[in-house]
Chain A
Amino acid sequence: MSVLGKVDTNKDARAWCGEIPLQSRYTYGLAGENFFREILENARFMGTRCSKCHFTYVPPTIYCERCLSKLEEWVEVSTEGVVQSFTVLLVAPDGSPLDEPEVLALVQLDGADSMLVHRLGKVDWDELAIGMRVKAVFKPPRKREGSISDIVHFVPVS
């Protein structure tokens, strides 16, 4: 006789259910702090510029990824830009199907050389394409709290 057995009913297959209490608090860093404060207070995009590499970072960084020099020159860039890539989401992060598909895009703002990821809104499916011009829609000043969601989405420039 051995203790080997098999589970015949679902009820007998015991699972241990638990939850790991996790909570994170993310600070944006020196460059990010400045970037989001400008969005919060002035609804505009600021980037850092490397004059050696002729490259403007939006979102900003405090070091140039190319020549590693410290960046101290801040420049304002446009709230309009170009879609450089996009993807259409049909499922939510928890795996459930979305009622409305969501479009995420890499947007290169006019005046910037790097890109930022955000949602596209009010897009006509026939219009959706790389190279499409879009502009940022900000939340009203009172509702902004200094985070990426202060930008509601980017919408096509008609």
Chain B
Amino acid sequence: MSSKIKEYPGTGLRESDFREKKVLFTEWKPNARYAWDAGIAIGRYLAELKEGRILGVRCRQCRRTVVPPRLFCEWCFRPMDEWVHLQDHGVVNTFSLCYVRWDMERIAEPLIPAVIEIAGASPGIGIMHLLGEVDPQKVEMGMKVQAVWKPAAERVGAITDIRYFRPMKS
């Protein structure tokens, strides 16, 4: 917020004003449940994650292997040719130190979202995930990282079946 703004119009309310019922209010929790059709490509990708594998897809025309898988090559405008199992490690392409959680809560220890170029996919092709078991100050681009999976029994077929990626021990 600009430091030039000293006064705000309106009536400021604190959490305690609500607790002490100084002001009348209505609370509402809308039902925001949804089901998103994963489709064939992402459906298989999720099913493979449950098995502890990362699935990609290859186009023979542009010779790219991409992840997450898709049915059409967006470069060649033609159907993809084959499913490819990729490695569960890769290289940090880019990352961010994030001191604010999804619900805007401030956090002391940063979350480290990163784009990870998956080994086996074409250069520059990767997925977004979190980094873990790492000193935030020591994260760098080009760092080799390895997926840390949930135990098989806990996997449900979700991207969170990979807990995070941690630096690879050399």
Interface residue ranges, A against B (CB under 8 Å) = 1-7, 12-28, 30, 32-33, 36-37, 40, 94, 146-148
Given A14-B38, A25-B27, are A19 and B33 neighbors across the interface (CB < 8 Å)?
yes
Given known contacts A14-B47, A14-B157, A1 and B29 CB-to-CB distance under 8 angstroms: no
**B15 → chain A, closest Cβ, in Å?**
10
Docked CA distance A40–B34 (Å): 37
Check B170 for interface membership: any CB of A closer than 8 A: no
The answer to whether B13 and A4 touch across the interface, beta carbons within 8 angstroms, is no
Q: Of B23, B30, B33, which one neighbours A18 at CB under 8 angstroms?
A: B33
Q: Closest CB of chain A to B45's CB: distance in Å? A: 10
7 A-B residue pairings within 8 Å (CB atoms): A3-B41, A13-B43, A14-B157, A16-B158, A18-B35, A21-B32, A25-B26
Q: Provide the residues of chain B in CB contact with A94, threshold 8 Å.
A: 31
B79 to A22, Cβ gap below 8 A?
no
Taking each of B34, B157, B158, which has the highest tally of chain A beta carbons within 10 Å of its own beta carbon?
B34
User: What number of A-B contacts does a CB cutoff of 8 Å give?
Assistant: 94
Given the interface pairs A7-B40, A12-B43, A94-B31, the reply to whether A28 lies near B157 with Cβ below 8 Å is no
Flag if A3 contacts B57 (CB, 8 Å): yes
B71 within 8 A of A: yes
Question: Is B51's CB within 8 Å of the partner chain A?
Answer: no
Please tell me if the beta carbons of A14 and B79 are within 8 angstroms of each other in the complex: no
Q: How far does the Cβ of A32 sit from chain B's closest Cβ, in whole Å?
A: 8
Chain B residues positioned under 8 Å from A5 (CB to CB): 40
- CB-nearest residue of chain B to A37: B24
Residues of A within 8 A of B115 (CB): none
Cβ contact within 8 Å between B81 and A28: no
B31 touches A146 (CB 8 A): no
Contact of B82 among A3, A37, A147 (CB under 8 A): A3
The CA of A22 and the CA of B37, in the complex, are separated in Å by 22
